[in-house]
Amino acid sequence: TQLLEQSPQFLSIQEGENLTVYCNSSSVFSSLQWYRQEPGEGPVLLVTVVTGGEVKKLKRLTFQFGDARKDSSLHITAAQPGDTGLYLCAGATGSEKLVFGKGTKLTVNP
């Protein structure tokens, strides 16, 4: 059974601070996806990373896929209250269904 360990589980920070969320596994994934879910809504795809060592930027969000394609990180610079939500990583192995991490609940206080 493939597992994705996501940390931290909860994170509460002040507006303007930086943060990093980690997603780790002993399994190799063909791609890894990050989602954000706001209260009362469904998760929304933020990014997909497919190449080992790949770095993608989405405004203040930086996503990195590990060289061995077993881990990923999400870094947010100068967090804002609008970044509040549940962040989920999900790994794909070819034609298999996604494996989700347990999520990181981020609260950014004004």
Partner 1 sequence: DAMVIQNPRYQVTQFGKPVTLSCSQTLNHNVMYWYQQKSSQAPKLLFHYYDKDFNNEADTPDNFQSRRPNTSFCFLDIRSPGLGDAAMYLCATSRDLGGPQHFGDGTRLSIL
Binding flag, residue 28, partner 1 (CB under 8 A): no
Q: Which is nearer to partner 1, 24 or 93 (CB)?
A: 93
In the complex, least distance from residue 86 CB atom to partner 1, rounded to whole angstroms:
7
Binding flag, residue 109, partner 1 (CB under 8 A): no
Pick one of 42, 59, 82, 110: the residue that binds partner 1 (CB under 8 A). 42
DSSP 69: S
Which residues are CB-contacts of 59 (< 8 A; sequence separation ≥ 6)? none
Binding residues with partner 1: total (CB under 8 A) = 26
In the complex, least distance from residue 101 CB atom to partner 1, rounded to whole angstroms:
7
Give contact residues for partner 1 (rule: CB under 8 A).
30-31, 33, 35, 40-45, 48, 86, 88, 90, 92-98, 100-103, 105
